[in-house]
Structure 1
C-alpha cells in the first residue's frame, strides 16, 4: 500500500466471518480499512465512528434480504451521506432483492468479481484523487506550525483519510475559505476542548471561564498559520489565479451547522481530506487530537494541481523568510 495515498474507513456489515475477512483483506490492499460490525452493535458503531468513508453491506446481512433492507433503510435515515455499496450473490443479478435495498444502495458488486467492488469504491468513496505531493505538503506545513505553537509537545499524525461523514469532532472548530486556480473550498480545524486545555502552557489567573478563550485563540491561530502556508505554497502566480477566478462563476453554497446533532454540511457530496494530528506530552502521557479537514466543495481540479509550481513557490517563500538572496 502506498503510504502517501489517503485511506478510507469503511463499515463492513457481513454475517459470514470468512467472507468478511476476505473482503477486508481485499480492501486493505486498495486503501480501504474495514471495521466489521455485528448487527446488534451497529448503533454503537455509528456513535463511535464519525469519520467514515462508506458502508459495505452484504445482501443477506442479518440472515435475509429483508433484514439487510431494514439495515440499509436505517443507515440511510441515520447517515444518508455515507454511500452504501451492496454485495450481491454471484448467482443473482439483483432483481430478487427488495426494492428498498436496491434504492438505498449507491452501488452494487458481485461477490465473485473483486473488480466490481474496487470500481464501486473508486466511484463512491475515492472519487477525488489527492496527489501525494499535495498531501505531503499539507502535513509538512501543518507539522511545522504545530511545532511552533507547541514546542514542548510531541507531534505525530495518522494516515490521511477520505471522509464522507459530516459529523463534527469535539466542541471547538474553526473554518476559513481556501481558493486557488485549481481548488475552492474550506479548511476546517476541530478538536476537543478539555484535552487541549490540559496541554496549554500554565499561566497565572487561569480559570474555567477563560480557559475556553485560550483554546479558541490557539486553534484560530493554528488555522490562520496553516491557511497562510497553504496559500503561499499552492496559490502559485497570483495574477494568473486572479484571472482564472475572474473567468469563472463564483458559486457559493450555504454552510449548515446543527449543533444538537454535531452535524456540519458544506453543501455538496464531495469527500473530505482528513488528517488527524496527535499532540502528546511525553512527561504526563496526555494527548489531544487536532482533526484537520480540507473540503474542496466549490471546485476541484486534479489536473490543475502543478507540483513544480508549488515547489517553486514554497522555495521562494522559504528564501524570503530566511532573508537569503542569490546573486547571479
Structure 2
C-alpha cells in the first residue's frame, strides 16, 4: 500500500514546529540535524521500548510467580497466592468448595504440600488455607492498593489454567468498579461482588484464586471468573475476565487470619430472606420477602414477610440478583428507600442499611 496516498497536508508553520521538536528529541542543536540521523534514532527507539517492556515482564514473573501456588481439592483444581510467611494462602471460596484439606504445589517444588482450610467466605468468594509446614524459599506476595488501579494498566495473570501450573498471560485493566454476579452452576458460589477489576488477560478454569499483577510486582486482584457468552452456548467470552480487588482481598484475609472468620464484611444488607417472583406474563417482577431478620434494616423500616420489593432507591428490582447488585453499590449505614407492594398497594419506606 502506498502510504503517501494517506498523508494529510499540514500548514507550513506546523511543519517547522514539528521539525524543531524532532531535533530536540534526537539530541541535536540548531537546524543542522540531518534527517537520516533522526530516522536512525526513531528506528533504534522502538526495539529499545519493546526490550524494556519484555524486561519488565521477566522481572515481574521472577518476583511474583514463586508466590503463586496450585491447589488441588477433591474435585476442584485452582490457584492461590501465598499471603504471609506463616503459610497462609488466599484463594477463591469456590476453589475450596466444601473441602477442608488440600494438596498445594508451589512453583519451585513438584512435591505437593498439605494444607487445611482456615475459613471460607462464599459471600465474597474468598477463602484462606494454611500450609501444614512452610518450606524454605517460599515468598509471600505483596498486595497493592487497588484503589489506585487505572484502566489501561498493563497486568499479568498468574495461575494454573487447565492444570498447567505456573502459567502467565498478559493484558490490560479493561475497566474497574464492575459489579458481577457469579452463577451457582459450574461450581460458583452465587455471590454478587462489587468493584471487580475487568481485565483482557486470559482467565481460564484453574486461574481462579491466582494473581493479577501490575508491573510493580504487586498483586492488584485475585482472578475469579470469566464472562460467558450466551450466544456461544455459555462458553467463555475471550478477553473478559474479572478479579476481586486486592484491597477487598486483604480486608477479608486479615480478618480470617486474626479472628478465624469474617467479622466485618463491609457489605450492605437489608436483613431479609427473599425470592424472585414473576408477573402474569411469567416475567421477573420483584423480590418477595420470605422472612425478615429480627432487628435488621428491613424490620426496623417496617417491612414484613409477603412484601414484594420493586425498587431500591432509584434502581428497579426484578430478581434477587438485581437486589444483590443494587446493595453491592451501597455501604452499611447508608440511607436509601425501598419501594414495595403490600396486598397490591405500592408503598415506600426509608431504610438505613445494615451489615451482611
TM-score normalized by the length of structure 1: 0.26
Considering fraction of residues, name the structure with more strand: 2
TM-score normalized by the length of structure 2: 0.25
Max radius of gyration: which structure? 2
Considering fraction of residues, name the structure with more helix: 1
